[in-house]
Structure 1
């Protein structure tokens, strides 16, 4: 079975080497390409969260990227940001835009974001949005709540949104937004961190959470809008595949593991 990792990070950030080692990996392109090939992962989508410069986003051939508005105040040099984002979206290897509202303290439905959504619509590329818990204490959950995507989806009906991390742990809210808005998809990234080891024991000990998440997805029954993603370098890749298979019923594995990401992020070139 093919797999597309629709959400991972690849950058020389402080702590990334340690995170990768803790998950049983190395934070290098060579190691990741080897692991991807071993596991049948044909492509990975980098969620960019570094510079906006064009020179700062060149990746190996098995990667594509979403240009990220992270650590940038949207109000500062607005026109320059729009120009740079458009230059990225014109690239074939840039497959979308990534927003980090919880970390950067803005609502995705704010009118100041309209020009960025307009660019996404112009180039027919999705907007991925961080939702749910954040990794830093100075982030604010009110900006990353799944409900914020409801208004964004209504304001921008021609834009495909991707709710990253399924709003974890705000699962009920996330499912409500997905059920109401057909232009919202979800990725299942960021649900594990580090090396688990005994996955059978982990699945048993966390059966309530896993059953709850699976139950909501079965209720939603929108398997054409659910994407596999890892949030690497946080988790071990083998273990993340095992977790996803425990959450997603087997008849929908191909949709979730690669078909949906290939369609939404326009990755046809990776499909035989």
Structure 2
């Protein structure tokens, strides 16, 4: 079975990412990631971009694609309106398959008019907008901006834009399911649900209620057409994450979740 990792981060020189990779049993470099992908049947990964929007900051190995990111590091010192030209230069590249927004880390709702130029670009180039939803890694962030319900208005007002709800709005799984089910232009990746090394047997026993909730609210969606596998690497161990998702998703839907949905939604053209 071929796999697409629809959500990872790739910043080899960043110390925090290096420490996360080591804790997950990995090394934060391209050579290690490519080898791990090959061993596990992962044929492509989609980087959720950090740093600037300068195209020169986003050069990735051939086995990776990327969403150009407007994260808190960037928006602290820059305005969205100043970024349109650079965003468009990224979107012109075949390797750039979308845009990533970071509400919560940035105190701006995705329905704010400030993002209108972003959505117009996404519509023009036919590339998705991935949106951080759910919990954040920093206590200084604001959860009200990253609640999955905050994506509903943006999706309803921009029906021609494909949105990807990152992390399935965790832990607001029921709300996330409602937003994806209601809006035909919203899908969800299930990245970032594990961190470091884990014993899956222990995890599924000790967190039984949570695991059942995940199963329930992923299964709520019709035929798993809008669920995308992603790892949030270097946060989690790749092999363990694949097994984690296999335990949650019925086997007859594995090809959709692990490959087909991401290939279709991000228009990767990998299915043959």
Same fold (TM over 0.5): yes
Once the two structures are TM-superposed, the CA of residue 145 in structure 1 deviates from its matched residue by 0.5
Identify the residue that residue 9 of structure 1 maps to in structure 2. Answer: 9
Q: How far is the alpha carbon of 1:172 from its aligned partner?
A: 1.1
Shift of 1:79: 4.1
Q: Which residue of 1 aligns with 2:239?
A: 238
Q: Which residue of 1 aligns with 2:25?
A: 24
Secondary structure in structure 2 of the residue aligned to 1:72: helix
CA separation in 2, counterparts of 1:222 and 1:109? 28
List gaps (5 residues or longer) in structure 2.
none
Aligned pair count reads 270
**Distance change (3 Å), C-alpha of 1:131 and 1:222:** farther
CA distance in 2 between partners of 1:9 and 1:35 (Å): 15
Match of 1:254 in 2: 255
> How does the TM-score come out when normalised to structure 2?
0.96
How far 1:123 sits from its partner (Å)? 0.2
Tell me the C-alpha RMSD between the 2 structures.
1.3
More moved, 71-80 vs 223-232 = 71-80
CA separation in 2, counterparts of 1:13 and 1:241?
A: 25
**Are 2:41 and 1:37 aligned?**
no
Tell me, yes or no, if the aligned pair for 1:72 and 1:104 is still in contact at 8 Å. Answer: no
Equivalent residues in 2 for 1:43-192, closer than 5 Å = 43-70=44-71, 71-73=73-75, 76-192=78-194
Q: TM-score, normalised by structure 1?
A: 0.96
**Is there any run of 5+ residues in structure 1 with no aligned partner, and where?**
none
The residue that corresponds to 1:271 in the other structure is 271
